[in-house]
Amino acid sequence: MPGPGTVAGCFAAEQRLLKALSDEPFETGRWSSPLVDRYSTLSIRTNRYSVPVRLIGQRVRVLLHASEVVIYDGRTEIVL
């Protein structure tokens, strides 16, 4: 068995204290509420995304994941 000063040793000491993960899902993305500009686009970090013209001047909700951007008008997902 590895000694207490190693990563494996520390994990072995803590393993019995760890609890099981929750069955409930949790959100890992980051929410923001950007304003749609007069060109019908919005900026998320360094990227610009086009949205429907009817949203000009309004705030939309954006959920940014590591590999996906989801834009909402209220509770409705905007399909890009």
Domain coverage including residue 14: 7-78
What confidence score (pLDDT) does residue 2 get? 60
Q: Would you state the pLDDT for residue 79?
A: 81
Residue 2 counted as domain residue: no
> In terms of Cα–Cα distance, which of 40, 64, 68, 66 is closest to 52?
40
> Mapping DSSP to helix (H, G, I), strand (E, B) and coil, where does residue 57 land?
coil
Q: How many domains does the chain have?
A: 1
Instruction: Please give the average per-residue pLDDT across 30-35, as a whole number.
Output: 96
* Structural domain includes residue 74: yes
Q: Give, as one character, the DSSP assignment of residue 40.
A: S
First to last CA, the chain: 54
For range 44-49, the mean pLDDT:
94
Domain presence at residue 1: no
In a domain, 24, yes or no: yes
How confident is residue 9, by pLDDT bands cut at 50, 70 and 90? confident
